[in-house]
Amino acid sequence: MNKITLTINNKKLDFYFGLGFLGNALEDIGIGIDELGVKLTSNPFLYAPKLMYYSLEYGYIRKGKDFNMSLESFIDELDKDKSFINGNIGKFLDAFTKSLTKDVPIDKGNSESKKK
């Protein structure tokens, strides 16, 4: 399980990546995986915190713990922490992107076409 730990308002929080988190996020947000990149680019102020929220929530779900934070209160915490300015949101997005592509094999082209 891929995860990143970020300190937000002096609290260490674990953000989990993987199928469970991403499936829950896409379903609740109401978009497909093909739309995610466009949404993050066009409005990172909405979609990055939402992804972070679902990632944080999924860690609690996996551990069987209650998650008692609303999306709005989580966004308030990000604002208080100045998470766009201090780089926490960027660190999350970087780790999220790497989690999507980490084990994807590199296509080096068809060796048959190179022989011709």
CB 28 within 8 A of CB 54: yes
Residue for token pair 């998650």:
67
Q: Quick one: angle between helices 33-42 and 19-29, nearest 10?
A: 70
Question: Where is 13: in which H helix or E strand?
Answer: strand 11-16
The string of pLDDT tens digits covering residues 62-104 is: 999 999 999 999 999 999 999 989 999 999 999 999 988 876 5
pLDDT in tens, 15-69: 999 899 999 999 999 999 999 999 999 999 999 999 999 999 999 999 999 999 9
Give the global pTM. Answer: 0.84
